[in-house]
Amino acid sequence: MTKLCVILGDQLSLNTESLQQIDKSQDYVLMAEVKSEATYVKHHKKKVAFVFSAMRHFAQELKENDYRIDYTAYSDSNNKGSLFEQVKAFCEQHPIDEIVIAHAGEYRLQQDIDSWQGKLNIEVTVCRDNRFVAEQSFFDEWANGRKQLRMEYFYREMRRNHNYLMEGKEPAGGKWNYDSQNREKPPKDLDVPEPTKFTPDDITNEVLELVAKEFDDHFGDLNDFHYAVNRTQALKVLDEFIEQRLEHFGQYQDAMIQDEPWMYHSHISFYINVGMLSAQECMDAAEQAYVSGQAPLNSVEGFIRQILGWREYVKGFYWHLMPDYKEKNYLNATRDLPELFWGSDTKMNCLKQCVKETKENAYAHHIQRLMILGNFALLAGLDPEQVNEWYLIVYADAYEWVELPNVSGMILFTDGGLLASKPYAASGSYINKMSNYCQHCEYSVKEKTGHQACPFNYLYWDFLIRHRDTLQKNPRMGMIYRTLEKMDGKKIDHMLDDAASFFERLSKNEEV
């Protein structure tokens, strides 16, 4: 009985469960750089380059470990253009009795895989996606019967079950969450360490040439490609994060500084989301840094929460609620995504910086994504489908299982509070508190109305007024609506006029 193990571009681990099901001496492994996956949205050039290079390096690793691998590059003459057609062609040329594959990370792809057995008349075994700590059944059991699916409570269950940062039955330090210590504004003289960088090797340079030729109309810069593309390099990124940045990660994880895109973040989301690093080894390294006194509890807890909390939670949330979740639009947002998200001129410095760094790096840290880019999308009422597609396109760590819950649920509040307890809406004062962007802006964050006023100020109140009937019943929004009720009527009229003028210019893609 001969098996074919199909490895997807985000399953680059020798520990992938599907690989454990095959016999190296007689079975095959198939990997392919197919057009349908590279172009179903027009992914950032660096994202395509990263995934293709990582795939080629992993194929090399498989060969070194004596797997019989069939690898199809993007420009190969026998490339069929889709994963199914590539698998079909291989099965027509070889006597395959069973196909094994780890569960896909995206709903649309898993739907396709689920149709293979009927189309090919070959048994297809879908294995667990062991890039994650928890089984989907654990999330489903936790979520069933709950009206609100709050990450914090899921996270506590995960901490207990997997014994991270626990002292017996209690959390280390006596608290589950140290987020209140993780919101410090960065000082002017903050010396941010350089990110870990690698010089492209021959394999990566070939991929860069391919992407420059075949994906020239995609968003993003391709120059200065310095990312890890194999497990050895990814482990170095993790090690240097623990050594150089974890100590201050907590206190500055929400901070933003002009021309400092990397800050104290780990930059491992690229690698953990393609299987190059495991969730457990990343958390183990951070926990050991706490035990040894190398990093404080607030930093280590914040880092572990991003993995054992958010990463596990959004994956479970996604599969629990798809496919209906993708269609939700609680606030009836319909405005088209403006050109400034693709790099057109804007006087709003915070947006300019975040889009610029996204274009350059296929990366922005979570507060840039949530409280600058996402906050604007929320306040402006941008269409959820277009916003989701943008986030999926521009970030190298973006796959729908992680992107959709974060964007639809946390950023855009499309589910009416299933994920987040309230919309993450904020005025310019928050941006000024957590960054130095406002110091370099043409607008004044202190002005609430008028042509010099920071647009986030009047857009914030316009958003609250626009959705008053929907949001004022939210218990976490009561105080802000009571403030609105006390506000001078003329001031409100000025803000609404400013917002209307702003949206008119935005609709015409004029500079705002």
| DSSP β-ladder status, 3-6 and 98-102 | parallel
| DSSP β-ladder status, 69-72 and 28-32 | parallel
Contacts 24+ apart (CB under 8 A), 156-164: 158/133, 158/134, 158/308, 158/309, 158/312, 159/308, 161/134, 162/133, 162/308, 164/283, 164/287, 164/304, 164/308
Q: Is the pLDDT of residue 323 over 90?
A: yes
Across the range 202-224, mean pLDDT stands at 97
Tell me what pLDDT residue 388 has: 98
Tell me what pLDDT residue 43 has: 97
Q: Is the pLDDT of residue 32 over 90?
A: yes
CATH superfamily of 3-127: HUPs (3.40.50.620)
Cβ neighbours of residue 486 under 8 Å, at least 6 residues apart? none
Q: Is the pLDDT of residue 128 over 90?
A: yes
CATH topology of domain 136-193+245-321: 1.25.40
Residue 416 CA neighbour count, 13 Å, CB half:
10
Q: Is the pLDDT of residue 243 over 90?
A: yes
Distance separating alpha carbons of residues 51 and 374, to the nearest angstrom: 25
Across the range 363-384, mean pLDDT stands at 97
Q: 32 — alpha (psi -120 to 50), left (phi > 0) or beta? A: beta
Distance separating alpha carbons of residues 244 and 228, to the nearest angstrom: 17
Distance separating alpha carbons of residues 31 and 102, to the nearest angstrom: 13
Write out the H or E segment, with its range, that includes residue 480.
Answer: helix 478-486
- CATH for the stretch 339-507: 1.10.579.10
Token pair listed for 162: 């997997």
Residue 223 pLDDT level (bands cut at 50, 70, 90): very high
Distance separating alpha carbons of residues 250 and 397, to the nearest angstrom: 21
Q: Radius of gyration over alpha carbons of the chain, in Å?
A: 24
DSSP result, 44-112:
-HHHHHHHHHHHHHHHHHHHHTT--EEEE-TT-TT--SSHHHHHHHHHHHS--SEEEEEPPSSHHHHHH
**What is the dihedral angle through the alpha carbons of 76, 82, 84, 85, rounded to the nearest 10 degrees?**
-50
Distance separating alpha carbons of residues 54 and 44, to the nearest angstrom: 15
Predicted structure pTM score = 0.95
- Domain ranges across the chain: 3-127, 136-193+245-321, 339-507
- Chain mean pLDDT for the chain: 95
Do the domains spanning 3-127 and 339-507 agree at the CATH topology level? no
Based on DSSP, count helices (H) and strands (E) in the chain, helices before strands.
24, 7
Q: Is the pLDDT of residue 29 over 90?
A: yes
| DSSP β-ladder status, 170-171 and 166-167 | antiparallel
Alpha helical stretches, state H, 163-304: 202-214, 231-244, 246-252, 269-272, 279-291, 297-304
DSSP result, 324-349:
GGGG--TT---BPPPGGGGT---S-H
Distance separating alpha carbons of residues 485 and 468, to the nearest angstrom: 11
